[in-house]
Every structure is written in structure tokens, then in C-alpha cells.
């Protein structure tokens, strides 16, 4: 009688274990969840018909392919700047490719692969207007996204400048267009994408400043070193086979934005 009870208990434990395995790990083993931006033209944009386009999307798709996933097995998840660390920690996504600048502060919470791209913080202003020099920034009302390195850099370097922190760069762009802010500040890659959009051509221009160096990395949950190494290998292959440059030409060429060569991978430990 005791043996039968023990066998039944073991069977129950095994069933629960199998169920937990099937439900755990952030979802179906046949798909992979990747965090991207939904509102950054040129980098990560969700189109009205539900497609995803941009340089980061191409990088993410290439990486997922090297990890064994077809494009239709990728679940793209919107990853706002202020939520990225939390999303990785909770297991909402497997990795994030979303203009995610590598910083020491962020590396305390997540690990990075890469970098795969280098950008520089600049200002987007109304076409025909100018910013005389960096000192003139302190006299401007600027807009950026809360939780972004751009907002943090500005607050540190120009504490006297007026800064509005909104949820998306698209909201900042609306403020720039209607005159409630003087400039949108973030990475020049993002600004170039907005300026190149058909509906924005002739309205905005980059100020041509270089306020910081931003090395974009692929965020992975803390401690997932094997996943990081696999992604580093995928980035290296993407650069070597020419797909990286092809993606650069496709998404940044129309904006006449001069992209630096692919940076050396540094996030290896």
C-alpha cells in the first residue's frame, strides 16, 4: 500500500515538473521574445500594418536566426527605455535590441553583448534654426525620454537647461513641431531616422553636435553568459558577411547620416 502511494506521489511530482517546464522560461520553446522599440524610425518601428522595420530589427532578426529561429518565430515586444532592465529581470524577453547604450550602471542589473553600433548624442531642431555652440544648450528647453542615457547626460552636463522627460520620442517630436520645446535630444541615429521620414522632410535638422558616445549593446538577463557569447558570435558574423553594412545602408542611407564602422566587441566577461 505504501509503495502504491509513493508511486502515485512520484507520478504527481513528475507531472507537475513537466507542466512547469512547459510553462516556464518566458514562453514557447518554438519562439523567442525580443525587445525592440516601436517608435524609432530607422531603428525600430512598428508600421500601421503591424510589420517591424529598422536597423535594430534587422540586427535582432539576424541574431535570432543564428540562435536557430526563423523570422516567424520571433515575438517582438515593445521595450520602452525606462522598462528594459525590469523586462529582462522578469523574463519578459530573451534579449533586447533597442538603441540600448552600454553603461556601467546598467551592467549592474543586466549583461550586454556587443556593442554592435556607435552613435553620438545630438539635438534635433527646427529647420533653419541654429544652436551656436554647446554652451547655448543651457538656454534651451529640451525634450527627451525618461530613463534614457540622453536625459541623464543632459541633466549632468547642463543642469541649467530646461528638460522635459516624456514617454516616447514621438511625443517630443510633436512638442518640437508645435514650438513647446526648442529641441529633441537623443542619439543622432534616432534623430536621423525621424528627420528622414517622408512627413518630416524639410521640417527638422540635426544640430551637428557630439555630446556623448553611445555604444549600443544587446541586453540579456544578468548571468546569461552563454547567451551573451552566442549573440557576440552572431554580431561578428553579421559584420563579416556584409549584412550589417547592408542594413546600415538601407535604414540610414536616405538620411545622409554618416555611420561609423562596426565597433569592436568588448562585452565578453
Would you kindly state where each structural domain of the chain is located, as residue ranges?
24-118+215-255, 120-206
Q: What is the pLDDT, as a whole number, of residue 132?
A: 65
Q: What is the pLDDT, as a whole number, of residue 4?
A: 40
Which residue's C-alpha cell is 525634450? 143
Query: In 3D, which of 261, 251, 246 has the Cα closest to residue 41?
Result: 251
Q: What is the DSSP letter of 63?
A: H
Cβ contact 125:207 at 8 Å: yes
120-206 matches 24-118+215-255 in CATH topology: yes
Helix orientation angle between 188-196 and 169-178, rounded to the nearest 10 degrees: 60
Joined together, the cell numbers standing for residue 5 give 502511494
Query: In 3D, which of 94, 110, 124, 100 has the Cα closest to residue 227?
Result: 94
Q: What CATH number is given for 120-206 in this structure?
A: 3.40.190.10
Joined together, the cell numbers standing for residue 268 give 565578453
Q: What is the pLDDT, as a whole number, of residue 18?
A: 40
Query: In 3D, which of 156, 189, 151, 153 has the Cα closest to residue 40?
Result: 189
Query: In 3D, which of 26, 25, 6 has the Cα closest to residue 14?
Result: 6
Which residue's C-alpha cell is 553600433? 117
Q: What is the pLDDT, as a whole number, of residue 10?
A: 44
Joined together, the cell numbers standing for residue 105 give 550602471
Q: What is the pLDDT, as a whole number, of residue 17?
A: 43
User: Cβ of 128: how many Cβ atoms within 10 Å?
Assistant: 9
**H helix intervals, the chain:** 2-23, 55-66, 84-90, 104-107, 149-157, 169-178, 188-196, 225-240, 243-252
3-state secondary structure of 204: strand
CA 220 vs. chain centroid, Å, equals: 12
Asked if the 24-118+215-255 domain carries CATH number 1.10.275.10, the reply is: no
Give the integer Cα–Cα distance in Å for 128 and 213.
Answer: 26
CA 31 vs. chain centroid, Å, equals: 20
Q: What is the pLDDT, as a whole number, of residue 196?
A: 83
Q: What is the mean pLDDT of each run of 10 residues along the chain (269 residues)?
A: 40 43 51 96 94 97 98 97 95 97 96 97 91 79 88 84 88 94 92 87 88 95 97 98 95 80 96
Which residue's C-alpha cell is 558577411? 241
Cβ contact 185:142 at 8 Å: yes
Which residue's C-alpha cell is 536625459? 151
pTM of the model: 0.80
Amino acid at each position: 500500500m505504501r509503495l502504491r502511494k509513493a508511486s502515485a506521489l512520484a507520478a504527481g511530482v513528475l507531472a507537475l515538473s513537466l507542466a512547469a517546464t512547459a510553462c516556464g522560461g518566458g514562453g514557447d520553446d518554438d519562439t523567442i521574445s525580443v525587445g525592440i522599440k516601436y517608435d524609432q524610425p530607422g531603428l525600430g518601428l512598428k508600421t500601421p500594418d503591424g510589420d517591424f522595420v529598422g536597423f535594430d530589427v534587422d540586427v535582432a532578426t539576424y541574431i535570432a536566426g543564428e540562435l536557430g529561429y526563423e523570422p516567424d518565430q520571433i515575438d517582438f515586444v515593445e521595450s520602452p527605455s525606462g522598462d528594459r532592465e525590469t523586462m529582462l529581470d522578469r523574463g519578459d524577453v530573451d534579449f533586447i535590441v533597442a538603441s540600448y547604450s552600454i553603461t556601467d550602471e546598467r551592467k549592474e542589473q543586466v549583461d550586454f553583448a556587443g556593442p554592435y553600433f556607435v552613435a553620438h548624442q545630438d539635438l534635433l531642431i527646427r529647420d533653419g534654426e541654429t544652436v551656436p555652440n554647446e554652451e547655448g544648450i543651457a538656454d534651451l528647453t529640451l525634450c527627451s525620454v525618461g530613463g534614457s542615457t540622453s536625459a541623464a547626460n543632459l541633466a549632468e552636463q547642463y543642469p541649467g537647461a530646461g528638460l522635459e522627460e516624456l514617454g516616447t520620442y514621438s511625443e517630443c517630436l510633436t512638442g518640437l513641431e508645435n514650438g513647446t520645446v526648442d529641441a529633441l535630444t537623443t542619439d543622432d541615429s534616432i534623430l536621423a531616422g525621424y528627420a528622414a521620414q517622408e512627413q518630416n522632410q524639410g521640417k527638422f535638422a540635426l544640430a551637428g553636435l557630439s555630446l556623448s558616445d553611445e555604444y549600443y549593446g544587446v541586453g540579456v538577463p544578468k548571468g546569461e553568459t552563454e547567451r551573451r557569447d552566442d549573440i557576440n558570435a552572431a554580431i561578428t558574423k553579421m559584420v563579416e558577411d556584409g549584412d550589417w553594412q547592408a542594413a546600415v545602408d538601407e535604414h540610414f542611407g536616405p538620411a545622409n547620416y554618416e555611420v561609423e564602422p562596426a565597433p569592436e566587441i568588448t562585452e565578453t566577461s
